[in-house]
Amino acid sequence: MALAQCWAKDDDGKEYICMAISRSLSKTERQYASFNSKLFYEVVRLLSTLQQLQQQRPPGYILENVSPLSHRPGTKIRDEVFPYIASVIGRPVSFEAAQAGAYAHRLRAYWSNLFQNHQFRSVMSKVVRPEGRIVSSILCKGWHPRPVIRTDRSPHYVVNVVGEPLRALPTIMATQGSRAFRRARMGTVVRNQDDEDAEEESREVNLDEKARAMGYSASELRMADGLNDVELASILGLAMDRRAMELLMAVAEASRKGLPRS
């Protein structure tokens, strides 16, 4: 029987221990196991081990996953899987990378012991996306985004408004050539053409554009030995947005210095 323990803080700052026992899995645990959960249990095991070895100076961590708010109420992921995850590692905070200035929507859940959830929510209530950031500025020369045909709605941060420039891509896919963008839709880009009668040329954003959207440099990514653009796009699609990470770390540093409780 493998026993994993993790220490987390509730909104009052009190620490509690949560456990996941891998023998005699419950129905929900078995369902979660089908969602490629091996890494999840390995992370819990690693954190548990480090926390027990370094009790005087426990390691700081930030864990990220797609926010449960991204899933409709009534789905197994939102109603069963995420409550189970929360029972193991505590409740997360959710926020949109677009609010921090990203050029793509990425609604994510974050778990961390570097700050308390209410502190983060207090900061986010005051964060306003920087002005002037539009998707056309990160596209390769000769391409432009499609018009906004639907105004953003909660739980996403509202940046795209019908009649205004596209400010955030709908998402960043880990799979280059994803079926989600094989047909013309908002989020694909169109080549500039002088001939109005010419057939429209459309594509999904490429690696360079994805990297810029998330605050990274594709040229630096390409310095990794032995990885092609398809593999790098997969890594990038699973990565944390740089601007979101900077915001998280800023809150963590403020918390370390004594962020007010309100």
pLDDT of residue 161: 97
My answer on whether omega of the bond before 170 falls inside 30° of 0, hence cis, is no
The answer to whether the beta carbons of residues 212 and 138 sit under 8 Å apart is yes
Q: Is residue 146 part of a domain?
A: no
Per-residue pLDDT for 20 more than 70? Answer: no
Mean pLDDT confidence for 174-202: 77
Residues sharing a CB contact under 8 Å with residue 71, sequence separation 6 or more, in sequence order: 77, 78, 82
Summary mean pLDDT of the chain:
81
Closest CA to 115 of 260, 262, 256: 256
CA–CA dist 95, 103 (Å, integer): 15
- Judged by DSSP in three states, 40 sits in helix
pLDDT of residue 163: 95
Per-residue pLDDT for 57 more than 50? Answer: yes
Q: Is residue 190 part of a domain?
A: no
Q: Is residue 150 part of a domain?
A: no
Q: Is residue 115 part of a domain?
A: yes
Mean pLDDT confidence for 49-62: 88
What are the distances in angstroms from CA 107 to CA 123, 155, 194? 17, 8, 37
Per-residue pLDDT for 216 more than 60? Answer: yes
Q: What percent of the chain has pLDDT over 70?
A: 82
- Which one has a higher pLDDT value, 3 or 227? 227
Q: How far apart are the first and last CA of the chain?
A: 43
Q: Is residue 147 part of a domain?
A: no
pLDDT of residue 14: 38
Task: Tell me the pLDDT band of 212, cut-offs 50, 70 and 90.
Answer: very high
Per-residue pLDDT for 166 more than 90? Answer: yes
Closest CA to 212 of 112, 130, 154, 133: 133
pTM (2 d.p.): 0.78
Q: Is residue 214 part of a domain?
A: no
Q: Is residue 21 part of a domain?
A: yes
CA–CA dist 158, 61 (Å, integer): 29
Range of the domain at 48: 3-128+242-257
CA–CA dist 68, 91 (Å, integer): 11
Mean pLDDT confidence for 17-30: 42
Query: How many structural domains is the chain composed of?
Result: 1
CA–CA dist 26, 19 (Å, integer): 13
Q: Is residue 16 part of a domain?
A: yes
Residues sharing a CB contact under 8 Å with residue 253, sequence separation 6 or more, in sequence order: none
Q: Within a 13 Å sphere around the CA of 89, how many CA atoms are in the beta-carbon half? A: 24
pLDDT of residue 153: 93
Which range (34-43, 116-125, 127-136, 223-232) has the least confidence? 34-43
CA–CA dist 126, 169 (Å, integer): 23
Per-residue pLDDT for 181 more than 90? Answer: no
CA–CA dist 103, 134 (Å, integer): 7
CA–CA dist 93, 89 (Å, integer): 12
Per-residue pLDDT of 85-117, as tens digits, reads 888 889 999 999 999 999 999 999 999 989 889
